[in-house]
Structure 1
Amino acid sequence: MATLIPATILTGFLGSGKTTLLKRVLHEAHGSKIAVIENEFGEENIDSDILVQEAGEQIVQMSNGCICCTIRDDLRATLADLAAKRRKGELVFDRVIIETTGVADPGPVAQTFFMDDEVASQYMLDAILTLVDAKHANQQLDTRQEARRQVGFADQIFISKADLVSADELAALQHRLAHMNPRAKQSVVHFGEVPLSQVLDLKGFNLNAKLDIDPDFLKADDHDHDHDHDHDHDHDHDHDHDHDHHDHAHGEHCNHPHHHHHDDDVKSFVYRADQPFDPAKLEDFLGAIVQVYGPRMLRYKGVLNMQGIDRKVVFQGVHQLMGSDLAAPWGPQEQRQSKMVFIGIDLPRDILEQGLKQCLVA
């Protein structure tokens, strides 16, 4: 079977530095030929200094051997067209990077790789990268759901323009982002200077890749609670079941830098269980949940301890699309614990937790 072409989705709000990062990757990826797909309403096209433009051509060759094209029809058609040209030897490239517009929701872009058989048979979605502009992030996250969704979908978050804010403001932003998405690794970047190892081959969508949850997020109550005891900002993941029921206005007028409590609609929570799951019950429950809440479920992933199965079961999903796979056997000394993270828009945590609990073997 032919090797699948890895694809990366690059997203982030206007002015966050996507094009700067992309240019750097294109200049640095020596030995790797990259096809870049741009949504044509990008804030600027990849600069003409690295493009060899052919009049009227949708696909242009770059001076460094990479290629670039804009989406004229839809993404599916563009991907199919690129793959067909590659098969015929008309184009040479090893991987694809899709740069979305600043206001795009990465969800439908990610779903294209799973829902369309032709695309799925030729491409493998590697990761969603989100750029966040430290200077304007809070305002964008407060006012634009697309910005919050971009954070919720990310496998890797790059924070740009951190030199324009204080250390306290940066820490508060990182804290906020971790609450929205504890799966995504965060890196502060300057002028798009990012090691390629943080951009390519991250395997964020690989079911067998380890369950990445920021370890500080899981033990956050050990070191952060002293900032503002009285603001109930959902650190204590096993006990505070009321954090989803805030009045949405009440974080808005508090603006001192240590106040981490933005009541974002994109939130995450982690569920853990020591008893094994009943496989049939869990499958039924998760199937029902994605039917009802799928549009609001951005990313979810877990390593599960299933009754009667000696190996870990890894599952993950995007919106209504969910997959699972057998992973490594449980080690003889290893604690068999299920661990799941859900990232979504106003997800009913209490319903999810109660339902999951009912799927455990008594």
Structure 2
Amino acid sequence: MSLIPVTILTGFLGSGKTTLLKRILTEAHGQRIAVIENEFGEENIDNDILVADTEEQIIQMNNGCICCTIREDLRDTLSDLAKQKRAGTLTFDRVVIETTGVADPGPVAQTFFMDDEIAELYLLDAIVTLVDAKHGDKQLDERQEARRQVGFADQIFMSKTDLVSKEEADALSHRIKHMNPRAPQKRVHFGDVALKEVFDIKGFNLNAKLDIDPDFLKDDGHAHHHHEHGEHCDHDHEHGEHCNHPHHHVHDDDVKSFVYKSNRPFNPTKLEDFLGSMVQIYGPRMLRYKGVLNVTGMDKKVVFQGVHQLMGSDVGPKWAPGETKVSKMVFIGIDLPQDLFKAGLDQCLS
């Protein structure tokens, strides 16, 4: 049996997860989707879509999708679904896990790497996060779970933009980009999203290209070790978080990102030791990190990525003839000591 792709759908309460999910489940796309729903609060797909009061854990829908509510451990539910798929009692092509609005998606993602049985059955494709344009700023200010949901995301959808001005939506988008520059953002209306923007994103695929918004790199020049500051800046910043540009408010979010680039190759032993020690110390605060590396003595790219303490690497494609061999890394985390990371990475260069 080939690996079953999984999408984690997350977002704060009221951000439109259920609307998006309802659209995915009721659309005639020919895919059979199993939805695993964390029961929490009023947001319950079953009530909305099925209007069925049933004790059954797994409900078949008329378009071939199935819906199950977690009344036990996620791992057990995944294991049970795979067993039924193998036995032929259930047919589905992929799984969507809708987390509760106040959930940190980290532990859900880790289930797919830490548990051997689950890793042999399922392939985590991406974490998709919805942000409510109307309440997003306040939620990001007040709730770390909301900031983590943005930090973990591979794709971000901003909902309810019709309830705010374009300037407000732009300011929120700018803020989110500084928290997570590797996740593309899209503004959506009532869950109106093409399936290809939700599924098969390959956010956890080591060899998927390193998506860092090119405008983010241009934005304040913080991919470089030195840059010019505009007249509106407090000078001492790397990240625009204290930068009083007229186009956005000052938000000192604890979830921040930084990019490291170098044209010099890495010494692989030094780099492994350094990253290993950083993950030991800061792993719980490292949400997502990913890089494409130029390593001494190798004609192929080395790709690495991680979630919290779990880090993996793989040999990627060859550097193309004439391609500039540049290492690019992005780190997204909670109050990570950027200067320490950058100085340590500098020490790992050949």
Within the alignment, does 1:333 sit opposite 2:322 as a pair? Answer: yes
Letter in 1 for 2:340: I
Within the alignment, does 1:324 sit opposite 2:313 as a pair? Answer: yes
Aligned pair in 2 of structure 1 residues 156, 228: CA closer, same or farther (>3 Å)?
farther
Question: Match for residue 349 of structure 2?
Answer: 360
Q: TM-score, normalised by structure 2?
A: 0.94
SS of the residue aligned with 1:179?
helix
Letter in 2 for 1:33: R
The runs of 5 or more residues in structure 1 that have no matched partner are: 235-239
Question: Match for residue 177 of structure 2?
Answer: 178
* Residues 174-212 of structure 1: CA deviation (Å, up to 9, x unaligned): 000000000000000000000111001100000000000
Runs of 4+ more than 6 Å apart: 225-228
Is the 8 Å Cα contact of residues 52 and 60 (structure 1) preserved in structure 2? no
Question: Match for residue 285 of structure 1?
Answer: 274
Question: Match for residue 233 of structure 2?
Answer: 230
Q: TM-score, normalised by structure 1?
A: 0.91
Is the 8 Å Cα contact of residues 176 and 261 (structure 1) preserved in structure 2? no
Question: Match for residue 150 of structure 2?
Answer: 151
CA RMSD of aligned residues (A): 2.1
Question: Match for residue 266 of structure 1?
Answer: 255
Offset of 1:331 from its aligned partner?
1.2
Aligned pair in 2 of structure 1 residues 47, 73: CA closer, same or farther (>3 Å)?
closer
Is the 8 Å Cα contact of residues 134 and 162 (structure 1) preserved in structure 2? yes
Question: Match for residue 225 of structure 2?
Answer: none
Question: Match for residue 237 of structure 1?
Answer: none
The runs of 5 or more residues in structure 2 that have no matched partner are: 222-227
Question: Match for residue 138 of structure 2?
Answer: 139
Within the alignment, does 1:124 sit opposite 2:123 as a pair? Answer: yes
Q: Tell me, in whole angstroms, the C-alpha distance in 2 between the residues paired with 1:89 and 1:53.
A: 24
SS of the residue aligned with 2:349?
coil
Question: Match for residue 342 of structure 1?
Answer: 331
Q: Tell me, in whole angstroms, the C-alpha distance in 2 between the residues paired with 1:159 and 1:127.
A: 17
Question: Match for residue 224 of structure 2?
Answer: none
Offset of 1:50 from its aligned partner?
3.4
How many aligned residue pairs are there? 344
Is the 8 Å Cα contact of residues 228 and 259 (structure 1) preserved in structure 2? no
Is the 8 Å Cα contact of residues 178 and 256 (structure 2) preserved in structure 1? yes
Q: Tell me, in whole angstroms, the C-alpha distance in 2 between the residues paired with 1:53 and 1:109.
A: 27
Question: Match for residue 37 of structure 1?
Answer: 36
SS of the residue aligned with 1:121?
helix
What percentage of aligned pairs have identical amino acids?
72
Is the 8 Å Cα contact of residues 279 and 307 (structure 1) preserved in structure 2? yes
Question: Match for residue 314 of structure 1?
Answer: 303
* Residues 273-327 of structure 1: CA deviation (Å, up to 9, x unaligned): 1110001110111111101000000000000000011100110000000011111
Q: Tell me, in whole angstroms, the C-alpha distance in 2 between the residues paired with 1:278 and 1:178.
A: 31
Offset of 1:55 from its aligned partner?
3.0
Question: Match for residue 54 of structure 2?
Answer: 55
Question: Match for residue 94 of structure 2?
Answer: 95
